[in-house]
């Protein structure tokens, strides 16, 4: 076990320093591999010497413990990476996971707010009066109009935003950089927010013009500290509750709004408007096109929804009366 722990730590250091994985990713790998190492120890197996059937047995145990298919596949991905590293650096001759397939997962479309829903949600800070209206409106619109991940929004620095406040350079997953763009609405919201941000910083003795270090973070708390990922999540959740209360029964499906919903909505709206999927991939910072292509499925679902609501035949299929088009019986 001692040798295994040393190998695990060496591998985690490798993916952080060489592969450029974020701290959150490294922590997730650590949790997955520690659980796997404990399983091996309890069954008298040295993880670095495990046979394919022993890895498969572990994966089967996770499923038996009611781990979701997504969680099981994530654990399997962590284990695969560990064995690939062992083979690459000649610490093992074969990869026991090479023939193992992922657990089949149900197709789950991402949660999306359609254009009217998104407009209603973005306007909530102006009327809700629950947090910091100027900051929250700018935060929601910046996240939606640029398709940002929650971690990217939390680390968004004034120094990385253009002087015109219409674009920004973002460092995403794996240290990959890309440019994102802010809509006029988002830009105006940021312009309105900045004086309030400056007033908060000045009140606690910080020069708001300082554009280096932590003080350059665009979105801050009322105490002047950079807003955290959990803080952003709490803000979105707070307004989601307001949205649900104000629009109860108006929108179908009882949608659960979370930070990633804004990114999903950004991508879906672009695809619906005819934007090339590869361009959407670039704007989202996806390394794989298949990840982006799921938004084409959402688009198809939207087409079905519009068809069902608009086409005369579709309308008539939902009624039990005489079938009519333009007042005439078929």
pLDDT in tens, 233-253: 999 999 988 877 665 444 444
Mean pLDDT of 141-149: 94
Q: Higher pLDDT residue, 234 or 275?
A: 234
Mean pLDDT of 288-310: 65
- Of the pLDDT bands very low, low, confident and very high (cuts 50, 70, 90), residue 323 is very low
DSSP conformational letter for 19: S
Average pLDDT for the chain: 83
- Of the pLDDT bands very low, low, confident and very high (cuts 50, 70, 90), residue 276 is confident
- Of the pLDDT bands very low, low, confident and very high (cuts 50, 70, 90), residue 321 is very low
For residue 16, count CB atoms less than 10 angstroms from its CB and return exposed for 0-12, middle for 13-18, buried for 19 or more: middle
Q: Closest Cα partner for 61 from 107, 103, 106?
A: 103
- pLDDT at 153 > cutoff 90: yes
What kind and span of H or E run contains 11?
helix 2-17
- Of the pLDDT bands very low, low, confident and very high (cuts 50, 70, 90), residue 23 is confident
- pLDDT at 230 > cutoff 60: yes
Q: Angle at which helices 229-246 and 115-128 pack, to 10 degrees?
A: 100
Tokens for 68, please give them. 């979701």
Residues 197-219 pLDDT 10s:
999 999 888 877 765 444 589 99
Q: Which of 48-62, 122-136, 237-251 has the lowest mean pLDDT?
A: 237-251
What's the pLDDT score for residue 19? 85
What's the pLDDT score for residue 76? 94
For residue 137, count CB atoms less than 10 angstroms from its CB and return exposed for 0-12, middle for 13-18, buried for 19 or more: buried
Q: Higher pLDDT residue, 206 or 164?
A: 164
Q: Radius of gyration (Cα) for the chain, nearest Å?
A: 25
Alpha-carbon span 196 to 75, nearest angstrom: 45
What's the pLDDT score for residue 246? 61
- Bridge partners, residue 325, by sequence: 328
Alpha-carbon span 328 to 311, nearest angstrom: 15
Of all residues in the chain, what percent are helix, strand and coil, respectively (each to 5)?
60, 5, 35
- pLDDT at 329 > cutoff 60: no
What's the pLDDT score for residue 187? 95
- Bridge partners, residue 177, by sequence: 171
Output the CA–CA distances (angstroms, integers) from residue 121 to 111, 150, 255, in the order listed. Answer: 14, 17, 12
In this prediction the pTM is: 0.63
Mean pLDDT of 71-77: 93
Alpha-carbon span 43 to 45, nearest angstrom: 6
User: Could you give the residue numbers annotated as active site?
Assistant: 149, 173, 260, 263, 286, 295
- pLDDT at 326 > cutoff 50: no
């Amino acid at each position: 076990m001692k040798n295994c722990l040393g190998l695990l730590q060496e591998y985690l250091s490798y993916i952080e320093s060489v592969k450029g994985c974020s701290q959150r990713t490294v922590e997730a790998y650590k949790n997955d591999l520690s659980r796997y190492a404990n399983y091996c120890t309890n069954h008298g197996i040295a993880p670095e010497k495990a046979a394919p059937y022993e890895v498969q047995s572990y994966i089967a145990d996770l499923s038996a413990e009611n781990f979701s298919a997504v969680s099981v596949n994530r654990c399997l991905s962590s284990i695969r990476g560990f064995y690939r590293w062992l083979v690459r650096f000649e610490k093992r001759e074969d990869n026991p996971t090479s023939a193992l397939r992922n657990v089949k997962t149900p197709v789950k479309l991402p949660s999306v707010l359609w254009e009217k829903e998104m407009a209603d949600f973005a306007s909530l800070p102006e009327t809700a009066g629950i947090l910091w209206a100027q900051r929250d409106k700018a935060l929601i619109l910046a996240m939606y109009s640029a398709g940002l991940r929650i971690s990217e929004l939390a680390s968004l620095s004034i120094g990385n935003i253009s002087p015109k406040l219409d674009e920004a350079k973002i460092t995403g997953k794996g240290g990959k950089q890309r440019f994102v763009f802010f809509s006029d609405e988002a830009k105006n919201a940021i312009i309105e927010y900045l004086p309030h941000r400056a007033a908060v910083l000045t009140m606690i003795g910080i020069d708001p013009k300082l554009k280096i270090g932590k003080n350059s973070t665009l979105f801050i708390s009322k105490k002047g500290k950079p807003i955290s990922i959990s803080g952003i999540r709490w803000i979105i959740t707070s307004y989601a509750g307001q949205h649900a209360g104000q629009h109860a029964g108006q929108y179908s499906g009882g949608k659960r709004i979370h930070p990633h919903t804004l990114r999903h909505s950004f991508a879906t709206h672009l695809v619906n408007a005819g934007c090339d999927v590869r361009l959407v991939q670039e704007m989202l910072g996806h390394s794989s096109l298949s990840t982006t292509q799921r938004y084409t499925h959402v688009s198809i679902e939207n087409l079905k929804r519009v068809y069902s609501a608009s086409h005369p035949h579709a309308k008539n299929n939902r009624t039990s009366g005489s079938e009519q088009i333009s007042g005439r019986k078929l």
